[in-house]
């Protein structure tokens, strides 16, 4: 038993899904296009690209992938943008004569995409581009949290003599700029204050409030928006996720593309099934679930998300026509619903019970990250559900 438990503990609740970064799925690109197209138009018309950008949006929305796309566009041999001196304003165009901003022809309007065929486009897609560098957070010594460290920026600085490669841009992607040590942040700040000509930095973070304000103030903001549930369902369909899972996972994902995919994975879906089984027959598995969910933050959030989704489903089911369960998943969910209804006698009482559970969940969610006894919080949550039997 001990061996089994250790094995289970080592496994994350929901495995990270590594997708090929490019090409960006069309649905994802089209969703973000209202935000990135004006930027591309601006670059094309002014022939001037800024040198620092902060891309924000909820986890799993495609920030990193969007930067790959923008970088591919910037470095594509089809888009021969001249390198603008980073400190100059767009008005500096006059230096090159009285060249008017080129009018956008219909052909250009439809050429929003990188060609995806030239050597530059291909090398970025393969992660081998010499003028595109991604800096990612590295695991700390304890292996728990990941941070961006100063050495990573020192080596960028040291490569300065290298300049812009063959007269083209050099692009740096700083993923998770909110996980930066103070020293790393200051090192990056120096680079942003005096960027070598042709260097462009893209920082990503869930929210700009999490990034050093001195860095934020130097960046142009690109705010990516959450996905609509219907778009997530289409993305799950494209990823060949079974029909049964699509609606639930799209609802659970709260606007995040990667999160929807993670929740639809066999592993996560199986865990959800197990949770439903536990709710159908809590006595046998309750303590095992308390142990599992109180071990890691990620698992705790998984449990709270799933239970919240279920409580809303159950509440809806009591509202439809009293005892109709058409909107429920079959199987264990139905068993749990029926049992609570029987114990509570009326749909109104059952609804009041699940509303009580939903309130508890909302409070539990606020404890994420607080130094509380996680086990007590999970016990409190799950025992409430189990008491209904």
Is 121 among the residues that bind Zn ion (CB under 5 A)?
Answer: yes
- Smallest distance, Zn ion to C-beta of residue 202, A: 18
Host H or E run for residue 174: strand 170-174
Cβ nearer to Zn ion, comparing 80 with 284:
80
User: With CB under 5 A as the contact rule, which of the stretches 6-14, 107-115, 127-135, 347-355 interacts with Zn ion?
Assistant: 107-115
What three-state secondary structure class fits 53? strand
- Smallest distance, Zn ion to C-beta of residue 351, A: 57
- Smallest distance, Zn ion to C-beta of residue 71, A: 11
- Smallest distance, Zn ion to C-beta of residue 130, A: 15
Cβ nearer to Zn ion, comparing 61 with 173:
173
Q: How many amino acids of this chain bind Zn ion (CB under 5 A)?
A: 5
Is 74 among the residues that bind Zn ion (CB under 5 A)?
Answer: no
Cβ nearer to Zn ion, comparing 118 with 386:
118
Among 35, 81, 118, 189, binds Zn ion (CB under 5 A): 118
- Smallest distance, Zn ion to C-beta of residue 132, A: 13
Strand ranges, E, within 217-298: 220-223
Among 13, 14, 61, 76, binds Zn ion (CB under 5 A): 76
User: With CB under 5 A as the contact rule, which of the stretches 111-119, 186-194, 207-215, 252-260 interacts with Zn ion?
Assistant: 111-119
Answer yes or no: are the C-beta atoms of 56 and 206 closer than 8 Å.
yes
What three-state secondary structure class fits 21? coil
User: With CB under 5 A as the contact rule, which of the stretches 94-102, 120-128, 180-188, 232-240 interacts with Zn ion?
Assistant: 120-128
- Smallest distance, Zn ion to C-beta of residue 125, A: 10
Count CA atoms within 13 Å of residue 179 on its CB side. Answer: 17
User: With CB under 5 A as the contact rule, which of the stretches 71-79, 137-145, 179-187, 332-340 interacts with Zn ion?
Assistant: 71-79
Is 115 among the residues that bind Zn ion (CB under 5 A)?
Answer: yes
Tell me what percent of the chain is helix, strand and coil, each rounded to the nearest 5: 55, 10, 35
**Contact pattern from residue 28 through residue 67 relative to Zn ion, giving x for each residue in contact according to CB under 5 A and a dash for the rest:** ----------------------------------------
Burial 2-15 (b: 16+ CB within 10 A, else e): eeeeeeeeeeebbe
- Smallest distance, Zn ion to C-beta of residue 74, A: 10
Answer yes or no: are the C-beta atoms of 211 and 203 closer than 8 Å.
yes
Answer yes or no: are the C-beta atoms of 317 and 327 closer than 8 Å.
yes
User: With CB under 5 A as the contact rule, which of the stretches 74-82, 168-176, 266-274, 332-340 interacts with Zn ion?
Assistant: 74-82
Query: How is 282-339 classified by DSSP, letter by letter?
Result: HHHHHHHHHHHHHH-HHHHHHHHHHHHHHHHHHHHHHHHHSS--TTS-STHHHHHHHH
Token digits for 141?
Answer: 């010594």
- Smallest distance, Zn ion to C-beta of residue 77, A: 5
User: Which residue is it, tokens 């009580």?
Assistant: 356
Cβ nearer to Zn ion, comparing 21 with 152:
21
- Smallest distance, Zn ion to C-beta of residue 158, A: 29
Q: In what order do the strands lie in the sheet with 220-223?
A: 132-135, 170-174, 199-205, 52-56, 220-223
Task: Identify which of 197, 256, 199 has the alpha carbon closest to the alpha carbon of residue 28.
Answer: 256
User: With CB under 5 A as the contact rule, which of the stretches 51-59, 121-129, 188-196, 329-337 interacts with Zn ion?
Assistant: 121-129
Cβ nearer to Zn ion, comparing 114 with 282:
114
Cβ nearer to Zn ion, comparing 117 with 372:
117
Residues whose CB falls within 8 Å of the CB of residue 365, separated by 6 or more in sequence, listed in order = 301, 304, 308
Residues that bind Zn ion (CB under 5 A): 76, 114-115, 118, 121
């Amino acid at each position: 038993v001990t061996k089994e438990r250790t094995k289970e503990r080592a496994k994350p609740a929901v495995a990270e899904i590594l997708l090929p970064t490019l090409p960006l799925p069309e649905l994802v690109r089209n969703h973000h296009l209202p935000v990135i197209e004006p930027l591309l138009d601006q670059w094309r018309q002014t022939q001037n690209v800024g040198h620092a950008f902060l891309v924000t949006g909820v986890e799993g929305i495609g920030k990193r992938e969007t930067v790959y796309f923008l970088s591919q566009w910037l470095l594509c041999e089809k888009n021969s943008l001249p390198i603008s001196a980073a400190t100059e304003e767009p008005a500096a165009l006059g230096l090159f004569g009285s060249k008017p901003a080129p009018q956008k022809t219909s052909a250009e309007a439809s050429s929003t995409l990188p060609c995806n065929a030239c050597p530059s486009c291909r090398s970025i897609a393969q992660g081998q581009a010499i003028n595109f560098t991604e800096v990612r957070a590295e695991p700390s010594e304890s292996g728990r949290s990941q941070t961006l460290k100063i050495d990573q920026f020192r080596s960028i600085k040291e490569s300065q003599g290298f300049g812009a490669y063959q007269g083209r841009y050099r692009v740096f992607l700083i993923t998770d700029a909110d996980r930066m040590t103070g020293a790393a942040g200051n090192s990056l700040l120096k680079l942003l204050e005096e960027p070598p000509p042709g260097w462009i930095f893209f920082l990503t973070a869930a929210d700009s409030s999490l990034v050093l304000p001195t860095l934020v103030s130097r960046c142009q903001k690109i705010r990516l928006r959450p996905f609509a549930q219907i778009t997530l369902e289409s993305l799950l369909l494209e990823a060949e996720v079974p029909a049964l899972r699509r609606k639930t996972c799209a609802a659970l994902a709260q606007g995040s593309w990667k999160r929807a995919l993670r929740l639809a994975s066999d592993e996560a879906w199986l865990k959800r099934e197990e949770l439903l089984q536990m709710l159908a027959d809590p006595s046998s598995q309750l303590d095992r679930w308390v142990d599992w969910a109180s071990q890691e933050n990620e698992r705790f959030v998984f449990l709270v998300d799933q239970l919240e989704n279920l409580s809303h489903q159950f509440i809806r089911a009591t509202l439809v026509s009293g005892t109709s369960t058409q909107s429920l998943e079959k199987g264990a969910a139905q068993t749990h619903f029926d049992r609570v209804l029987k114990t509570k006698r009326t749909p109104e009482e059952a609804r009041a019970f699940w509303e009580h559970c939903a309130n508890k969940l909302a409070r539990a969610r606020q404890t994420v990250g607080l130094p509380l006894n996680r086990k007590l919080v999970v016990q409190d949550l799950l025992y409430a559900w189990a008491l209904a039997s």
